Structure 1
Amino acid sequence: MGACLCPSDDPESPSQPPCRPLCFHPYIKGSQVMMDESCCIASRVATFHDGIVFSNRPVELYEKVTVKILTEDSKWHGGLRVGFTWEDPSLLEPFELPPFACPNLVKQGKCWACVLPDEYGAEGMIVSFWVDSQGYVFCSVNQESEYLLLLEGVSVTRPLWAVMDIYGRTKAVQLLDPSSLTTNTEGPGLLRLNLDEQSESAHRENVGDDCAICFGYKANTMMLPCTHANFCSDCSLKILNTSGRCPLCRQEVKKILHVSLLAERESPELWPGKAKNICPFR
């Protein structure tokens, strides 16, 4: 296992300092990608695809990959894709890269990636994403303490490099040092989740029951802001990416949170921020 991949037993404790600053890989990139000298700003020159970029080194578990969306191109649809790969990009050839991270890289079986929600892809947004020791990928915007479940099932048994696809209306992004940014606890639209209050909700009683849609998996996610928790993570993600409305109350779904471990009170891995606005990361 690579020296940069250092999972911590306590997600609230700082992990070991990264071996070197995080930037984009300078050579392995999509055919339409241009970079500045620092390899921290990547721009897509033309069309809407061939904008895949990688991190220059493996990222640690819980290490935030933070990018600012610098420029949009409104003539295209769709936006930034983010994720992780266990294939060292240094072993690839640029001409081997497919035009899209989703579905091309994902279908190759060595990458986990998805598109960010539309509201996260606006020009000027600062987006952070990370993977935890259970293989869950989360993201947040503008250093807010609220975070969103993006993916699950990522293998963390080997080093992982960050993957980004500067796709569609996303035209240019900049990698930032998250430690230099101020945490925003008063951002507009921030859903302040007090876990003690949430645990008293009647909706939480549904966690652990069978998913109300597929009946094949346990309900383990909560939809926000309605707080219905009757669905498994697979079905919740499908709802978010299709109708975008809770099947029970038809309210628009803004976020999905993974709540099964919170309900069972067995592990702090996913919900270590009790009474701290769920912000366990440095």
Structure 2
Amino acid sequence: MGAFVSTLLGGLVQDPYIPLVFHPDTKGSQIILEESEYIATRAATFHDGIVFSNRPIHVNEKVTLEILKEDDRWFGGLRLGFTSEHPSLMDSRDLPPFACPNLVKQGKCWAGVLPDEYVGKGTIVRFWVNRKGCVFFRVDHESGSHLLLKDVPVKRPLWAVIDIYGRTKAVQLLDPSRPKICTYESNQLELNTAGQNESVCRNFCEGSSIGKECVVCFYRKANTVMLPCCHAYFCFCCSTRILYSSGCCPLCRQNVEKVLRVSAWAEKGIPAKWLEEVEDSQPPPRQKLNRAHAPETSPS
């Protein structure tokens, strides 16, 4: 079966659209990437949180981030910019602790500091570079854009640089064209396949490959289900790539409407009792920024 699936997915890397995620290998020493590579978290301290995009960013393409967590012990927040050096050619061990000014001073990197009023939890930030080499940013509750830096050379490929610094603890890359992915708690929620009969659902619950090896990458655990066909042989990363390429299940060639991501409960083999469907994930409600905080230590 592995050879069959690999043949069907052979053209994935040639797909004209590559989802924008964080570079999986080159990152700061304190960075932890979620399996999907959309979420990056700084584990400790206030520095060593540099991450890159997995692919070059087009001129005027907006890189969109949501701040998921903050740590009020520190001052300052995100640093944003671009680099002309391919992240795959960098050694993570050689990355400096700060994008500004350390990485900028090394050359081939241009980055600026996001003002403190824009680094609160729940803030959505978009930044991009125009044809004149000016980098702008915009936040979701404002209509206008702000100049962050300029004189970025745009005649060469540019990868996004994000420094998860200071108050900023975790960020998520948002992509409006990303397929709809739902999360289901396997011990509480129903596998609602929108048209599948009871026997198909029963077969899924009894013979699921959840928790076994993904048949595409042979590395990660299978933790997603294709809907409406209910095939569950793929990890989250491979399922996402399938949606971005053919949009069809590699096993039955049926169009995929949704990807159901099963929780860790199911991965551990705990029997499932499906009760109801969880709503699609939405950004958390905006929280009022708390400017009054006393950090234990303030980074320079």
Matches within 5 A, 1:28-67: 28-67=26-65
Corresponding residue of 2:140: 142
Corresponding residue of 1:21: 19
1:104 corresponds to 2:102: yes
Q: Secondary structure at the match of 2:93?
A: helix
Instruction: Tell me which amino acid in the other structure corresponds to 2:161.
Output: V
Matches within 5 A, 1:196-235: none
Q: Give the drift of 1:143.
A: 6.6
Contact 1:69 1:170 in 2 (8 A): yes
Name which one, 1 or 2, has greater alpha-carbon Rg.
2
1:70 corresponds to 2:36: no
Q: Give the drift of 1:120.
A: 1.1
Corresponding residue of 1:131: 129
| Shift in alpha-carbon separation, 1:158–1:73, aligned structure 2, 3 A | same
* Cα distance between partner residues in 2 of 1:178 and 1:105: 30
Q: Secondary structure at the match of 1:31?
A: coil
Corresponding residue of 1:168: 166
| Shift in alpha-carbon separation, 1:120–1:108, aligned structure 2, 3 A | same
Q: Which runs of 5+ in 1 are unaligned?
A: 1-16, 181-186, 188-282
Over 4 Å off, 4+ runs: none
Instruction: Tell me which amino acid in the other structure corresponds to 2:65.
Output: V
* Cα distance between partner residues in 2 of 1:160 and 1:81: 16
* Cα distance between partner residues in 1 of 2:57 and 2:176: 13
Name which of 69, 73, 85 aligns with 1:87. 85
Q: Secondary structure at the match of 1:56?
A: strand
Contact 1:66 1:178 in 2 (8 A): no
Instruction: Tell me which amino acid in the other structure corresponds to 1:82.
Output: L
Contact 1:29 1:54 in 2 (8 A): yes
Please report the TM-score for the alignment, with normalisation by the length of structure 2. Answer: 0.53
Corresponding residue of 2:229: none
Q: Give CA-to-partner distance per residue, 1:164-189, whole Å, 9 cap, x none.
A: 00000100000001457xxxxxx9xx
Q: Give CA-to-partner distance per residue, 1:124-168, whole Å, 9 cap, x none.
A: 000000000000000001174311111110000100000000000
* Cα distance between partner residues in 1 of 2:151 and 2:118: 22
Q: Give CA-to-partner distance per residue, 1:28-47, whole Å, 9 cap, x none.
A: 00000001111000000000
Q: Which runs of 5+ in 2 are unaligned?
A: 1-14, 179-285, 287-300
Alignment root-mean-square deviation, CA: 1.7
* Cα distance between partner residues in 2 of 1:139 and 1:92: 26
Q: Give the drift of 1:19.
A: 2.8
Instruction: Tell me which amino acid in the other structure corresponds to 1:136.
Output: C
Pick 1 or 2: higher relative contact order, CA cutoff 8 A, min separation 6.
2
* Cα distance between partner residues in 1 of 2:16 and 2:141: 20
